[in-house]
A and B are shown apart, each in its own frame.
Chain A
Amino acid sequence: MIKYEGVTKVFPDGTVAVRDIDLTFKEGEFAFVVGPSGAGKSTLLNLLIRRYTPTKGDVWYTDYNVGRISAGRVSRLRREIGMVFQDFKLLPRFTVKENIAFGLEAVGRGRQEVRELVPFILKLVGLEDKMNRYPRQLSSGEAQRVSIARAMVHEPKVLLADEPTGNLDSRTGWEIVQLLQQINNWGTTVIMATHDRDVVDSLRNRVVRIEEGMIVEDEKVGSYD
Protein backbone atom coordinates (compact mmCIF):
# COMPACT_ATOMS: atom_id res chain seq x y z
CA MET A 1 0.00 0.00 0.00
CA ILE A 2 2.82 2.40 0.93
CA LYS A 3 6.27 1.93 -0.47
CA TYR A 4 9.49 3.94 -0.15
CA GLU A 5 11.97 2.96 -2.87
CA GLY A 6 15.54 4.19 -2.36
CA VAL A 7 14.29 7.49 -0.95
CA THR A 8 16.75 10.21 -0.02
CA LYS A 9 15.77 13.70 1.07
CA VAL A 10 18.36 16.46 1.16
CA PHE A 11 17.16 19.91 2.29
CA PRO A 12 18.41 23.08 0.61
CA ASP A 13 20.80 23.74 3.51
CA GLY A 14 22.52 20.42 2.77
CA THR A 15 20.99 18.44 5.64
CA VAL A 16 20.39 14.84 4.65
CA ALA A 17 17.15 14.01 6.44
CA VAL A 18 16.66 10.47 5.12
CA ARG A 19 19.03 8.35 3.12
CA ASP A 20 18.28 5.41 0.77
CA ILE A 21 15.11 4.35 2.53
CA ASP A 22 13.42 1.15 1.35
CA LEU A 23 10.28 0.49 3.32
CA THR A 24 6.80 -0.93 2.86
CA PHE A 25 3.62 -0.59 4.94
CA LYS A 26 0.70 -2.93 4.40
CA GLU A 27 -2.98 -2.06 4.57
CA GLY A 28 -4.39 -2.18 8.10
CA GLU A 29 -1.01 -2.06 9.83
CA PHE A 30 -0.23 -0.12 13.01
CA ALA A 31 3.46 0.66 12.89
CA PHE A 32 5.75 2.80 15.00
CA VAL A 33 8.63 4.75 13.54
CA VAL A 34 11.05 5.37 16.37
CA GLY A 35 14.37 7.11 16.75
CA PRO A 36 16.00 10.09 18.41
CA SER A 37 15.04 13.68 17.57
CA GLY A 38 16.34 14.67 14.15
CA ALA A 39 16.63 11.05 13.01
CA GLY A 40 14.29 11.66 10.06
CA LYS A 41 10.98 10.30 11.40
CA SER A 42 8.92 13.38 10.55
CA THR A 43 10.55 13.70 7.14
CA LEU A 44 9.58 10.12 6.40
CA LEU A 45 5.93 10.88 7.15
CA ASN A 46 5.93 14.25 5.41
CA LEU A 47 7.26 12.65 2.23
CA LEU A 48 4.11 10.57 2.14
CA ILE A 49 1.76 13.58 2.15
CA ARG A 50 3.98 15.43 -0.37
CA ARG A 51 4.90 18.14 2.08
CA TYR A 52 8.38 17.32 0.84
CA THR A 53 9.40 15.69 -2.40
CA PRO A 54 12.22 13.15 -2.43
CA THR A 55 15.58 14.26 -3.72
CA LYS A 56 16.14 10.71 -4.93
CA GLY A 57 13.91 7.65 -5.15
CA ASP A 58 10.13 7.27 -5.17
CA VAL A 59 7.36 7.19 -2.59
CA TRP A 60 4.36 5.15 -3.65
CA TYR A 61 0.85 5.27 -2.24
CA THR A 62 -1.28 2.57 -3.88
CA ASP A 63 -0.62 3.22 -7.60
CA TYR A 64 0.50 6.80 -7.23
CA ASN A 65 4.06 8.02 -7.24
CA VAL A 66 3.52 10.68 -4.58
CA GLY A 67 6.46 12.82 -5.67
CA ARG A 68 5.11 13.13 -9.19
CA ILE A 69 1.37 13.64 -8.79
CA SER A 70 -0.26 16.92 -9.85
CA ALA A 71 -0.97 19.73 -7.38
CA GLY A 72 -4.71 18.99 -7.60
CA ARG A 73 -4.12 15.34 -6.73
CA VAL A 74 -2.05 16.36 -3.68
CA SER A 75 -5.18 17.72 -1.95
CA ARG A 76 -6.98 14.45 -2.60
CA LEU A 77 -4.00 12.47 -1.36
CA ARG A 78 -4.01 14.47 1.88
CA ARG A 79 -7.62 13.56 2.43
CA GLU A 80 -6.88 9.89 1.83
CA ILE A 81 -3.87 10.08 4.14
CA GLY A 82 -4.85 11.98 7.27
CA MET A 83 -2.14 13.49 9.40
CA VAL A 84 -1.95 14.34 13.09
CA PHE A 85 0.78 16.70 14.24
CA GLN A 86 2.65 17.08 17.51
CA ASP A 87 1.60 20.75 17.72
CA PHE A 88 -1.98 19.85 16.67
CA LYS A 89 -2.07 22.49 13.90
CA LEU A 90 -5.61 23.59 14.71
CA LEU A 91 -6.93 26.80 13.20
CA PRO A 92 -6.83 29.20 16.16
CA ARG A 93 -9.63 31.46 14.93
CA PHE A 94 -12.01 28.54 14.34
CA THR A 95 -14.06 26.73 16.97
CA VAL A 96 -13.66 22.97 17.42
CA LYS A 97 -16.74 22.44 15.26
CA GLU A 98 -15.44 24.77 12.54
CA ASN A 99 -11.99 23.16 12.60
CA ILE A 100 -13.58 19.87 11.65
CA ALA A 101 -16.29 21.28 9.41
CA PHE A 102 -13.92 23.20 7.15
CA GLY A 103 -12.30 19.96 6.01
CA LEU A 104 -15.70 18.75 4.85
CA GLU A 105 -16.65 22.10 3.39
CA ALA A 106 -13.39 22.23 1.47
CA VAL A 107 -14.53 19.25 -0.56
CA GLY A 108 -17.99 20.68 -1.16
CA ARG A 109 -19.99 18.61 1.36
CA GLY A 110 -23.44 20.09 1.94
CA ARG A 111 -24.51 21.98 5.03
CA GLN A 112 -26.79 19.21 6.22
CA GLU A 113 -24.10 16.58 5.85
CA VAL A 114 -21.61 18.71 7.76
CA ARG A 115 -24.17 19.29 10.51
CA GLU A 116 -24.62 15.56 10.93
CA LEU A 117 -21.02 14.43 10.51
CA VAL A 118 -19.27 16.90 12.80
CA PRO A 119 -21.11 15.95 16.04
CA PHE A 120 -20.76 12.29 15.08
CA ILE A 121 -17.00 12.48 14.69
CA LEU A 122 -16.66 14.61 17.83
CA LYS A 123 -18.58 11.99 19.76
CA LEU A 124 -16.14 9.35 18.54
CA VAL A 125 -13.24 11.28 20.07
CA GLY A 126 -15.25 12.18 23.18
CA LEU A 127 -15.51 15.91 22.60
CA GLU A 128 -19.15 16.41 21.67
CA ASP A 129 -19.62 18.81 24.59
CA LYS A 130 -16.71 21.08 23.49
CA MET A 131 -17.65 21.74 19.89
CA ASN A 132 -18.12 25.48 20.37
CA ARG A 133 -14.83 26.06 22.13
CA TYR A 134 -11.76 27.60 20.55
CA PRO A 135 -8.44 25.69 20.52
CA ARG A 136 -7.01 28.01 23.20
CA GLN A 137 -9.81 26.86 25.53
CA LEU A 138 -8.84 23.20 25.21
CA SER A 139 -6.30 21.10 27.08
CA SER A 140 -3.45 19.59 25.02
CA GLY A 141 -5.12 16.19 25.06
CA GLU A 142 -8.40 17.65 23.85
CA ALA A 143 -6.64 19.61 21.14
CA GLN A 144 -4.96 16.43 19.92
CA ARG A 145 -8.33 14.66 19.85
CA VAL A 146 -9.71 17.48 17.69
CA SER A 147 -6.70 17.09 15.43
CA ILE A 148 -7.42 13.37 15.12
CA ALA A 149 -11.11 14.03 14.51
CA ARG A 150 -10.23 16.46 11.73
CA ALA A 151 -7.96 13.89 10.11
CA MET A 152 -10.61 11.18 10.42
CA VAL A 153 -13.47 13.20 9.00
CA HIS A 154 -12.58 12.13 5.45
CA GLU A 155 -12.41 8.49 6.53
CA PRO A 156 -8.78 8.21 5.42
CA LYS A 157 -7.23 4.88 4.53
CA VAL A 158 -4.03 5.89 6.29
CA LEU A 159 -3.48 7.99 9.40
CA LEU A 160 -0.03 9.41 10.02
CA ALA A 161 0.68 10.61 13.54
CA ASP A 162 3.82 12.67 14.00
CA GLU A 163 4.74 12.55 17.70
CA PRO A 164 1.06 12.85 18.71
CA THR A 165 1.91 12.33 22.39
CA GLY A 166 4.97 14.58 22.39
CA ASN A 167 3.20 17.51 24.06
CA LEU A 168 1.02 15.43 26.38
CA ASP A 169 1.43 13.97 29.86
CA SER A 170 1.72 10.19 29.97
CA ARG A 171 -1.92 9.53 30.90
CA THR A 172 -3.34 11.77 28.18
CA GLY A 173 -0.77 10.42 25.74
CA TRP A 174 -1.90 6.92 26.50
CA GLU A 175 -5.54 7.90 25.84
CA ILE A 176 -4.53 9.27 22.47
CA VAL A 177 -2.69 6.07 21.61
CA GLN A 178 -5.75 4.05 22.59
CA LEU A 179 -7.82 6.23 20.28
CA LEU A 180 -5.35 5.57 17.46
CA GLN A 181 -5.51 1.86 18.25
CA GLN A 182 -9.29 2.01 17.97
CA ILE A 183 -9.03 3.79 14.62
CA ASN A 184 -6.66 1.06 13.47
CA ASN A 185 -9.17 -1.55 14.58
CA TRP A 186 -11.70 0.04 12.21
CA GLY A 187 -9.29 -0.80 9.36
CA THR A 188 -7.26 2.39 8.99
CA THR A 189 -3.52 1.96 8.56
CA VAL A 190 -1.78 3.92 11.33
CA ILE A 191 1.86 4.98 11.18
CA MET A 192 3.03 6.77 14.28
CA ALA A 193 6.39 8.50 14.69
CA THR A 194 7.31 8.62 18.35
CA HIS A 195 10.04 8.41 20.92
CA ASP A 196 7.61 7.43 23.68
CA ARG A 197 9.13 4.24 24.97
CA ASP A 198 6.13 3.22 27.15
CA VAL A 199 3.69 3.43 24.29
CA VAL A 200 5.86 1.41 21.92
CA ASP A 201 6.62 -1.24 24.51
CA SER A 202 2.98 -1.59 25.57
CA LEU A 203 1.46 -2.18 22.15
CA ARG A 204 4.06 -4.58 20.74
CA ASN A 205 3.35 -3.54 17.15
CA ARG A 206 5.75 -3.30 14.24
CA VAL A 207 8.67 -0.98 15.02
CA VAL A 208 10.81 0.71 12.38
CA ARG A 209 13.90 2.27 13.93
CA ILE A 210 15.54 5.13 12.10
CA GLU A 211 18.85 6.76 12.98
CA GLU A 212 20.66 9.53 11.10
CA GLY A 213 18.19 9.16 8.27
CA MET A 214 18.70 5.44 7.77
CA ILE A 215 16.59 2.44 8.80
CA VAL A 216 18.61 0.44 11.28
CA GLU A 217 15.93 -2.01 12.43
CA ASP A 218 12.50 -3.17 11.28
CA GLU A 219 10.77 -5.66 13.62
CA LYS A 220 7.28 -7.08 13.14
CA VAL A 221 6.65 -7.21 16.87
CA GLY A 222 9.11 -4.81 18.36
CA SER A 223 10.00 -2.82 21.42
CA TYR A 224 11.60 0.58 21.79
CA ASP A 225 15.13 -0.73 22.47
Chain B
Amino acid sequence: MIETVRLIIKNTFQHLARNFWHSVAAILVMTLALYSVVYFTASAYRYNEALRELRSKPQLTVFFKDEATEEEILNWKKSLEARNEVKEANYISKEEALVLYQQENQERPELLEFVTADILPASLEISTTEVEYQESIARELANSPRIESIIFHSDVVQKLLRLSNAMKVEGFVWAGSLLTVAIITILVVVGISISSYGEEIEIMKLVGAGSWYVRFPFVIQGIIYGVVAAALAIGMLYAMPYLKTAIVGETDLLFLPGLGTDIVSSWVLLRLWGAATIFGIVLGALASWLATWRYLRV
Protein backbone atom coordinates (compact mmCIF):
# COMPACT_ATOMS: atom_id res chain seq x y z
CA MET B 1 0.00 0.00 0.00
CA ILE B 2 2.73 2.47 1.06
CA GLU B 3 4.74 1.39 -1.98
CA THR B 4 1.77 2.03 -4.28
CA VAL B 5 1.19 5.48 -2.76
CA ARG B 6 4.90 6.28 -3.17
CA LEU B 7 4.77 5.24 -6.82
CA ILE B 8 1.62 7.20 -7.51
CA ILE B 9 3.21 10.32 -6.02
CA LYS B 10 6.41 9.63 -7.96
CA ASN B 11 4.42 9.28 -11.19
CA THR B 12 2.54 12.50 -10.47
CA PHE B 13 5.73 14.49 -10.20
CA GLN B 14 7.19 12.70 -13.21
CA HIS B 15 4.17 13.82 -15.25
CA LEU B 16 4.55 17.37 -13.99
CA ALA B 17 8.26 17.45 -14.76
CA ARG B 18 8.02 15.70 -18.12
CA ASN B 19 5.22 17.97 -19.26
CA PHE B 20 6.37 21.08 -17.44
CA TRP B 21 5.20 23.73 -19.90
CA HIS B 22 1.83 22.03 -20.41
CA SER B 23 1.41 22.11 -16.65
CA VAL B 24 2.41 25.77 -16.47
CA ALA B 25 -0.06 26.65 -19.23
CA ALA B 26 -2.84 24.66 -17.57
CA ILE B 27 -2.17 26.30 -14.19
CA LEU B 28 -2.13 29.80 -15.71
CA VAL B 29 -5.43 29.30 -17.53
CA MET B 30 -6.96 27.82 -14.38
CA THR B 31 -5.60 30.81 -12.44
CA LEU B 32 -7.32 33.24 -14.80
CA ALA B 33 -10.58 31.30 -14.64
CA LEU B 34 -10.46 31.18 -10.84
CA TYR B 35 -9.37 34.83 -10.64
CA SER B 36 -12.41 35.93 -12.64
CA VAL B 37 -14.63 33.99 -10.23
CA VAL B 38 -12.99 35.24 -7.01
CA TYR B 39 -12.75 38.81 -8.35
CA PHE B 40 -16.46 38.80 -9.12
CA THR B 41 -17.27 37.25 -5.76
CA ALA B 42 -15.14 39.83 -3.95
CA SER B 43 -16.76 42.65 -5.94
CA ALA B 44 -20.23 41.30 -5.19
CA TYR B 45 -19.29 41.09 -1.51
CA ARG B 46 -17.99 44.66 -1.46
CA TYR B 47 -21.05 45.93 -3.30
CA ASN B 48 -23.31 44.10 -0.90
CA GLU B 49 -21.50 45.59 2.08
CA ALA B 50 -21.72 49.09 0.61
CA LEU B 51 -25.39 48.59 -0.18
CA ARG B 52 -26.07 47.34 3.33
CA GLU B 53 -24.46 50.41 4.76
CA LEU B 54 -26.49 52.62 2.44
CA ARG B 55 -29.69 50.81 3.29
CA SER B 56 -29.11 51.33 7.00
CA LYS B 57 -28.33 55.02 6.61
CA PRO B 58 -31.48 56.66 5.27
CA GLN B 59 -33.56 58.41 7.86
CA LEU B 60 -37.01 59.65 8.47
CA THR B 61 -37.16 63.14 9.89
CA VAL B 62 -40.29 63.85 11.89
CA PHE B 63 -41.01 67.53 12.60
CA PHE B 64 -43.25 68.30 15.54
CA LYS B 65 -45.75 71.13 15.97
CA ASP B 66 -44.92 73.80 18.57
CA GLU B 67 -47.55 72.44 20.96
CA ALA B 68 -45.67 69.13 21.30
CA THR B 69 -43.76 69.20 24.55
CA GLU B 70 -40.21 67.88 24.94
CA GLU B 71 -41.56 65.20 27.26
CA GLU B 72 -44.03 64.03 24.62
CA ILE B 73 -41.34 63.94 21.98
CA LEU B 74 -39.01 61.99 24.25
CA ASN B 75 -41.84 59.49 24.86
CA TRP B 76 -42.19 59.10 21.09
CA LYS B 77 -38.42 58.52 20.90
CA LYS B 78 -38.54 55.91 23.62
CA SER B 79 -41.43 53.98 22.10
CA LEU B 80 -39.84 54.11 18.64
CA GLU B 81 -36.49 52.86 19.88
CA ALA B 82 -38.22 49.93 21.52
CA ARG B 83 -39.25 48.65 18.08
CA ASN B 84 -37.12 46.15 16.16
CA GLU B 85 -37.47 48.07 12.91
CA VAL B 86 -35.83 51.15 14.43
CA LYS B 87 -32.09 51.33 14.84
CA GLU B 88 -32.04 54.66 16.65
CA ALA B 89 -33.99 57.87 17.09
CA ASN B 90 -32.26 61.17 17.80
CA TYR B 91 -34.09 64.06 19.38
CA ILE B 92 -33.21 67.48 17.91
CA SER B 93 -34.61 70.24 20.11
CA LYS B 94 -35.48 73.70 18.78
CA GLU B 95 -32.19 75.02 20.21
CA GLU B 96 -30.12 72.25 18.64
CA ALA B 97 -31.95 72.82 15.34
CA LEU B 98 -30.87 76.43 15.48
CA VAL B 99 -27.24 75.45 16.10
CA LEU B 100 -27.36 73.09 13.18
CA TYR B 101 -28.99 75.74 11.00
CA GLN B 102 -26.32 78.25 11.97
CA GLN B 103 -23.55 75.79 11.24
CA GLU B 104 -24.95 75.00 7.82
CA ASN B 105 -25.37 78.66 6.89
CA GLN B 106 -22.46 80.31 8.65
CA GLU B 107 -21.16 81.77 5.41
CA ARG B 108 -24.51 83.35 4.62
CA PRO B 109 -25.20 85.77 7.55
CA GLU B 110 -28.28 87.25 5.84
CA LEU B 111 -30.05 83.93 6.39
CA LEU B 112 -29.19 83.88 10.07
CA GLU B 113 -30.32 87.37 10.94
CA PHE B 114 -34.02 86.76 11.68
CA VAL B 115 -33.95 83.09 12.59
CA THR B 116 -34.49 82.14 16.21
CA ALA B 117 -35.06 78.86 17.95
CA ASP B 118 -38.78 79.60 18.25
CA ILE B 119 -39.46 79.39 14.55
CA LEU B 120 -37.59 76.10 14.06
CA PRO B 121 -39.45 72.87 14.87
CA ALA B 122 -38.16 70.17 17.20
CA SER B 123 -37.63 66.90 15.38
CA LEU B 124 -36.77 63.23 15.65
CA GLU B 125 -34.27 61.71 13.21
CA ILE B 126 -35.13 58.04 12.93
CA SER B 127 -32.84 55.39 11.45
CA THR B 128 -34.51 52.13 10.51
CA THR B 129 -32.77 48.76 10.35
CA GLU B 130 -34.06 48.24 6.79
CA VAL B 131 -35.17 50.77 4.21
CA GLU B 132 -38.43 48.91 3.72
CA TYR B 133 -39.66 49.94 7.20
CA GLN B 134 -39.50 53.67 6.57
CA GLU B 135 -42.75 53.98 4.67
CA SER B 136 -44.86 52.07 7.22
CA ILE B 137 -43.41 54.00 10.17
CA ALA B 138 -44.04 57.29 8.36
CA ARG B 139 -47.65 56.25 7.65
CA GLU B 140 -48.18 55.39 11.27
CA LEU B 141 -46.73 58.65 12.61
CA ALA B 142 -48.57 60.84 10.11
CA ASN B 143 -51.86 60.26 11.92
CA SER B 144 -50.69 62.07 15.05
CA PRO B 145 -52.02 65.65 15.48
CA ARG B 146 -48.73 66.69 17.16
CA ILE B 147 -46.71 66.03 14.03
CA GLU B 148 -46.20 68.81 11.54
CA SER B 149 -44.56 66.87 8.75
CA ILE B 150 -42.48 63.84 7.97
CA ILE B 151 -39.68 63.79 5.45
CA PHE B 152 -38.27 60.67 3.95
CA HIS B 153 -36.96 60.04 0.50
CA SER B 154 -39.45 57.48 -0.71
CA ASP B 155 -38.23 57.67 -4.32
CA VAL B 156 -34.66 57.09 -3.32
CA VAL B 157 -35.70 54.24 -1.08
CA GLN B 158 -37.72 52.59 -3.82
CA LYS B 159 -34.93 53.04 -6.35
CA LEU B 160 -32.42 51.64 -3.94
CA LEU B 161 -34.61 48.63 -3.33
CA ARG B 162 -35.12 48.07 -7.04
CA LEU B 163 -31.40 48.50 -7.66
CA SER B 164 -30.60 46.08 -4.89
CA ASN B 165 -32.96 43.45 -6.30
CA ALA B 166 -31.71 44.00 -9.84
CA MET B 167 -28.14 43.63 -8.62
CA LYS B 168 -29.03 40.33 -7.00
CA VAL B 169 -30.51 38.93 -10.21
CA GLU B 170 -27.64 40.30 -12.30
CA GLY B 171 -25.19 38.96 -9.77
CA PHE B 172 -26.61 35.46 -9.99
CA VAL B 173 -26.56 35.56 -13.80
CA TRP B 174 -22.96 36.82 -13.80
CA ALA B 175 -21.81 34.39 -11.17
CA GLY B 176 -23.50 31.52 -13.01
CA SER B 177 -21.96 32.53 -16.35
CA LEU B 178 -18.50 33.00 -14.89
CA LEU B 179 -18.67 29.70 -13.06
CA THR B 180 -19.80 27.90 -16.20
CA VAL B 181 -17.02 29.46 -18.25
CA ALA B 182 -14.46 28.66 -15.53
CA ILE B 183 -15.64 25.05 -15.28
CA ILE B 184 -15.57 24.52 -19.06
CA THR B 185 -12.18 26.23 -19.37
CA ILE B 186 -10.65 24.11 -16.62
CA LEU B 187 -12.14 20.89 -18.01
CA VAL B 188 -10.81 21.68 -21.49
CA VAL B 189 -7.35 22.83 -20.38
CA VAL B 190 -6.73 19.90 -18.06
CA GLY B 191 -8.15 17.61 -20.76
CA ILE B 192 -5.70 18.99 -23.32
CA SER B 193 -2.85 18.65 -20.86
CA ILE B 194 -3.71 14.99 -20.26
CA SER B 195 -4.45 14.22 -23.91
CA SER B 196 -0.72 14.24 -24.59
CA TYR B 197 -0.60 11.18 -22.32
CA GLY B 198 -3.48 9.46 -24.11
CA GLU B 199 -1.32 6.88 -25.83
CA GLU B 200 0.68 6.21 -22.68
CA ILE B 201 -2.49 5.65 -20.68
CA GLU B 202 -3.78 3.20 -23.29
CA ILE B 203 -0.46 1.33 -23.35
CA MET B 204 -0.35 1.13 -19.56
CA LYS B 205 -3.85 -0.34 -19.55
CA LEU B 206 -3.05 -2.80 -22.35
CA VAL B 207 -0.08 -4.20 -20.49
CA GLY B 208 -2.02 -4.75 -17.30
CA ALA B 209 -1.85 -1.63 -15.15
CA GLY B 210 -4.98 -1.08 -13.05
CA SER B 211 -7.20 1.91 -13.81
CA TRP B 212 -6.52 3.59 -10.48
CA TYR B 213 -2.77 3.15 -10.76
CA VAL B 214 -2.91 4.94 -14.12
CA ARG B 215 -5.53 7.49 -13.16
CA PHE B 216 -4.42 8.57 -9.69
CA PRO B 217 -1.28 10.47 -10.72
CA PHE B 218 -3.39 12.49 -13.15
CA VAL B 219 -6.06 13.16 -10.56
CA ILE B 220 -3.37 14.33 -8.12
CA GLN B 221 -1.88 16.40 -10.92
CA GLY B 222 -5.31 18.04 -11.42
CA ILE B 223 -5.53 18.68 -7.68
CA ILE B 224 -2.08 20.30 -7.69
CA TYR B 225 -3.17 22.48 -10.62
CA GLY B 226 -6.23 23.52 -8.62
CA VAL B 227 -4.33 24.30 -5.41
CA VAL B 228 -1.61 26.30 -7.17
CA ALA B 229 -4.10 28.13 -9.40
CA ALA B 230 -6.28 29.05 -6.39
CA ALA B 231 -3.25 30.41 -4.51
CA LEU B 232 -2.18 32.44 -7.56
CA ALA B 233 -5.71 33.76 -8.13
CA ILE B 234 -5.97 34.90 -4.50
CA GLY B 235 -2.48 36.39 -4.74
CA MET B 236 -3.63 38.38 -7.76
CA LEU B 237 -6.79 39.46 -5.95
CA TYR B 238 -4.68 40.65 -3.04
CA ALA B 239 -1.99 42.37 -5.09
CA MET B 240 -4.05 44.00 -7.84
CA PRO B 241 -5.60 46.84 -5.75
CA TYR B 242 -2.16 47.87 -4.47
CA LEU B 243 -0.80 47.77 -7.99
CA LYS B 244 -3.75 49.84 -9.22
CA THR B 245 -3.39 52.33 -6.39
CA ALA B 246 0.32 52.64 -7.12
CA ILE B 247 -0.45 53.42 -10.75
CA VAL B 248 -3.66 55.50 -10.69
CA GLY B 249 -3.97 56.53 -7.05
CA GLU B 250 -6.92 56.18 -4.65
CA THR B 251 -10.22 55.51 -6.43
CA ASP B 252 -12.62 55.12 -3.55
CA LEU B 253 -16.01 56.63 -4.30
CA LEU B 254 -16.97 58.85 -1.42
CA PHE B 255 -20.70 58.42 -1.74
CA LEU B 256 -20.46 54.62 -1.83
CA PRO B 257 -17.96 53.70 0.84
CA GLY B 258 -15.92 50.63 -0.05
CA LEU B 259 -17.30 50.35 -3.56
CA GLY B 260 -14.54 52.16 -5.35
CA THR B 261 -11.77 50.15 -3.78
CA ASP B 262 -10.80 46.58 -4.64
CA ILE B 263 -9.30 45.82 -1.25
CA VAL B 264 -11.10 43.13 0.71
CA SER B 265 -10.55 42.29 4.33
CA SER B 266 -8.16 39.50 5.34
CA TRP B 267 -11.05 37.44 6.63
CA VAL B 268 -12.92 37.67 3.31
CA LEU B 269 -9.68 36.94 1.44
CA LEU B 270 -9.07 33.88 3.60
CA ARG B 271 -12.58 32.59 3.00
CA LEU B 272 -12.25 33.22 -0.73
CA TRP B 273 -8.94 31.36 -0.71
CA GLY B 274 -10.55 28.40 0.99
CA ALA B 275 -13.47 28.39 -1.43
CA ALA B 276 -11.21 28.83 -4.49
CA THR B 277 -8.95 26.02 -3.30
CA ILE B 278 -11.86 23.63 -2.80
CA PHE B 279 -13.32 24.70 -6.15
CA GLY B 280 -9.92 24.24 -7.84
CA ILE B 281 -9.31 20.85 -6.24
CA VAL B 282 -12.74 19.50 -7.13
CA LEU B 283 -12.57 20.81 -10.69
CA GLY B 284 -8.95 19.77 -11.25
CA ALA B 285 -9.64 16.26 -9.98
CA LEU B 286 -12.89 15.98 -11.91
CA ALA B 287 -11.30 17.26 -15.12
CA SER B 288 -8.45 14.75 -14.78
CA TRP B 289 -10.84 11.95 -13.95
CA LEU B 290 -12.94 12.69 -17.02
CA ALA B 291 -9.92 13.22 -19.29
CA THR B 292 -8.35 9.89 -18.33
CA TRP B 293 -11.65 8.04 -18.49
CA ARG B 294 -11.81 8.07 -22.29
CA TYR B 295 -8.33 6.56 -22.56
CA LEU B 296 -8.92 3.98 -19.87
CA ARG B 297 -11.74 2.34 -21.76
CA VAL B 298 -9.30 0.12 -23.72
Chain A residues with CB under 8 Å of chain B are: 49, 51, 71-72, 75-79, 82-83, 89-93, 102-103, 105-111, 150-151, 154
Contact = CB atoms under 8 A, between A and B. Distances in A.
Contacts of B210: 72, 75, 106-107
Nearest to B14: A93
Contact of A89 (B4, B203, B214): B203
Given A108-B4, A109-B3, 7 more contacts: A76-B208, A83-B206, A89-B203, A93-B18, A103-B207, A111-B3, A151-B207
Contacts of A77: 208
Contact of B207 (A76, A78, A92, A110): A78
B207 A83 contact: yes
Nearest to A49: B206
B213 interface: yes
Contact of B200 (A71, A91, A108, A151): A91
B41 interface: no
B2 to A, nearest CB: 10
21 contacts: A49-B206, A71-B211, A75-B205, A75-B209, A75-B211, A77-B208, A78-B205, A78-B207, A82-B207, A89-B206, A90-B203, A91-B200, A91-B203, A93-B18, A93-B200, A105-B7, A105-B213, A106-B214, A108-B4, A109-B3, A111-B3
User: Interface on chain B toward A: helix, strand, loop, or mixed SS?
Assistant: helix
Contacts of B200: 91-93
Contacts of B209: 75, 102-103, 106
10 closest pairs, A vs B, by CB? Answer: A79-B208, A78-B208, A106-B209, A75-B210, A106-B213, A105-B7, A89-B203, A108-B4, A93-B18, A91-B200
B204 interface: yes
Interface of B: 1, 3-4, 7, 18, 200, 203-211, 213-214, 298
Contacts of A110: 3
Contacts of B207: 78-79, 82-83, 89, 103, 150-151
Given A105-B7, A108-B3, A75 B208 contact: yes
B208 A51 contact: no
Contacts of A108: 1, 3-4, 7
Contacts of B211: 71, 75
A219 B173 CA distance: 72
B12 to A, nearest CB: 13
A147 B210 CA distance: 19
Contacts of A105: 3, 7, 213
A214 B197 CA distance: 36
Nearest to A151: B207
Contacts of A90: 203
Contact of B204 (A49, A106, A111): A106
B207 to A, nearest CB: 6
A75 B208 CA distance: 4
Nearest to B296: A71
Nearest to B15: A93
Nearest to A91: B200
A91 B204 contact: yes
A51 B206 contact: yes
Contacts of B18: 93
Instruction: Identify which of B18, B205, B208 gathers the most chain A CB atoms within 10 Å of its CB.
Output: B208
Which of A71, A90, A108 is the most central at the interface, judged by chain B CB atoms within 10 Å of its CB? A108
B245 to A, nearest CB: 46
A82 B208 CA distance: 8
B208 A106 contact: yes
Contacts of A92: 200
Contacts of B204: 91, 102, 106
A78 B213 CA distance: 15
A7 B213 CA distance: 32
A221 B209 CA distance: 36
Contacts of A51: 206, 298
Contacts of B3: 105, 108-111
A88 B214 CA distance: 19
Contacts of A79: 207-208
Nearest to B5: A108
A151 B208 CA distance: 9
A170 to B, nearest CB: 27
A75 to B, nearest CB: 4
A79 B207 CA distance: 7
